[in-house]
Amino acid sequence: MKISLRREQYLELYYYMRLNRSLEERLVTLFRQNKVVGGLYSSLGQEATSVGTAYALEKRDWMAPMIRNVGALLVKGYRPRDIFLQYMARYDSPTHGKDGTSHFGDLKERHVISPISMLGDLIPVMTGVAIAGRYLGQNIVAMTWIGDGGTSTGAFHEGMNFAATQRAPFVCVVENNQWAYSTPVRRQVPIRNLADRARAYGITSYIVDGNDVVAVYRVAKEAVERCRAGEGPILIEAKTMRMKGHAQHDPAEYVPREMFEYWQARDPIARYETFLSRQGLWTEQEKQQILDRIEREIAEDLAFAENSPFPPPELAEQGVYCEDAYEIKPEWQRPIEEVMPPKASVQAVWQVEDFGGIAEGAVQVIEAAAAPARDGTGRRQVARTPQRGKKKLSARGKGR
């Protein structure tokens, strides 16, 4: 799929990545000043993944960010002040001061589902959103993110299997940032490429350099359009690096210094600045204008947040239950009759073409290497048929 960007879009990608980083740098200062109420999780080094994938979505599409996807929130229309207010637990925040981290969303305008702390649970949730949109005729795509550690949860695998069987228009972005808290990827999974996990469910997958924002965008855009065209769910593995600890309290002393140096040389923003200059997509003056704009917006929005009041005590008992909190009703974009009897009636009988069998006398051998191959291809499948008059071979290839 040929995917091109206009010059202003190239510059917009830079704006969002740089805004993402500048916003988080200011949040670190606020955290050290004891003005951030909850925990603070950095996406330093992962900005290209969040921005590039979210930029591929349309306004009608839905997304569910995780703790390191501030860039995706900015792309979806949130302002720095929303993030400041949320972390500082002020009344004007999206949750009116009831959550001091990233647990907020917008079901009405931005189509953002709030993060779920139980890793993996967003996979079945967003599969449900994707299926609901298809049922209502909205032609939407749903997207969420998960870390390398999160792909080992049961909810992840249950959700991916559910998405696959329903051919949901759903994109799952695996941010392989090399560390599940303090556990390296190779100590928690026996494969090099987490994208291989999609094979078990018949799902198409991509592997992309997560520090190359243009490559991320192009892969995500192709995945989104394929999902919208009805090709089923797609998994994207973005290889990147978490350049800070799990949270501000974690100094990440378990990460080898050489590993930080390797990824520092591949910083997504520095790489993109070099790309824009070499391609003649901006001038030094235009770059400075973007940086000045970001500095101005950060300063204005931080001032707004610091002058926002804390929530009043009586707010604590409000909104505890969902009653009267939302007026949720379906937005039909297709005739309801299409999905109601008698027009949508189908015979409750499944047609199974081959009845689940295997060719008579065939033996299928699944061979696995003793240890995972370094290129991640440590497993292959072979099918063969034994000759007549000879013993059938077992799975190990020896007669019994």
Bigger pLDDT: 345 vs 74? 74
CATH of the domain at 154: 3.40.50.970
The residues that are catalytic are 242, 246, 254
What is the per-residue pLDDT for 379? Answer: 43
What is the per-residue pLDDT for 321? Answer: 78
Q: Is residue 70, in this structure, part of any structural domain at all?
A: yes
Per-residue pLDDT band for 376 (boundaries 50, 70, 90) equals: very low
Cα 76 to Cα 51: distance, rounded to the nearest angstrom = 10
Per-residue pLDDT band for 348 (boundaries 50, 70, 90) equals: confident
Q: Is residue 394, in this structure, part of any structural domain at all?
A: no
Q: Is residue 41, in this structure, part of any structural domain at all?
A: yes
Whole domain around residue 137: which residue ranges? Answer: 7-317
Q: Flag whether pLDDT at 62 surpasses 90.
A: yes
What is the per-residue pLDDT for 133? Answer: 97
What is the per-residue pLDDT for 389? Answer: 43
Please provide the average confidence, as pLDDT, over all residues in the chain.
Answer: 90
Bigger pLDDT: 268 vs 361? 268
Cα 143 to Cα 219: distance, rounded to the nearest angstrom = 13
C-alpha distances out from residue 140 to 126, 143, 166, 380, Å:
11, 10, 15, 36
User: What is the count of structural domains for the chain?
Assistant: 1
- The single-letter DSSP state of residue 396 is T
Q: Is residue 336, in this structure, part of any structural domain at all?
A: no
Per-residue pLDDT of 147-156, as tens digits, reads 999 999 999 9
Q: Is residue 195, in this structure, part of any structural domain at all?
A: yes
Question: First CA to last CA across the chain, in angstroms?
Answer: 51
Q: Is residue 149, in this structure, part of any structural domain at all?
A: yes
pLDDT mean over 213-237 = 97
Residues 6+ apart with CB under 8 A from 306: 35, 88
Residues 6+ apart with CB under 8 A from 12: 55
Per-residue pLDDT band for 92 (boundaries 50, 70, 90) equals: very high
Q: Is residue 237, in this structure, part of any structural domain at all?
A: yes
Per-residue pLDDT of 103-120, as tens digits, reads 999 998 999 999 999 999
Q: Is residue 392, in this structure, part of any structural domain at all?
A: no
